[in-house]
């Protein structure tokens, strides 16, 4: 598979998971709104996004 297509599918999968979780857990949406409104909660949201990105790209790599 072309690396660009693999990246595209990973990004689409990540977006689908985030939307699904927001729809499944309304408190997550409330937390994200609070996080965007108040800076003291915002670093948690950034940390969760970094963790999600690390899981998407880190688990797909082959070990040497």
For the chain, give the DSSP string. Answer: --HHHHHHHHHHHHHHHHHHHHHH-HHHHHHHHHHHH-HHHHHHHHHHHHHHHHHHHHTTSPP-
- Please indicate, yes or no, if residue 9 is contained in any of the structural domains: yes
| Residues 44 and 35 sit within 8 Å (Cβ to Cβ) | yes
Looking at the domain assignment, is residue 63 inside a domain? Answer: no
pLDDT of residue 16: 92
Residue 33 lies in a domain: yes
Q: Which domain holds residue 9?
A: 3-58
Higher-confidence position of 10 and 33 = 10
Question: Average pLDDT for residues 17-41, to the nearest whole number?
Answer: 77
Residue 49 lies in a domain: yes
Decide if 34 contacts 41 (C-beta within 8 A).
yes
Q: Give the whole-number percent of the chain exceeding pLDDT 70.
A: 86
Q: Give the C-alpha separation, 36 to 43, whole Å.
A: 10
Give the total number of structural domains in the chain. Answer: 1
Question: Does 64 reside within a domain?
Answer: no
Compute the average pLDDT of residues 36-64. Answer: 76
């Amino acid at each position: 598979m072309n690396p660009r297509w693999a990246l595209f599918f990973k990004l689409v999968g990540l977006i689908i998971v985030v939307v699904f979780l927001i729809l499944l857990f309304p408190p997550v949406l409330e937390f994200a709104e609070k996080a965007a409104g108040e800076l003291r909660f915002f670093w948690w949201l950034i940390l969760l996004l970094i963790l999600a990105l690390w899981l998407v790209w880190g688990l797909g790599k082959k070990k040497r």
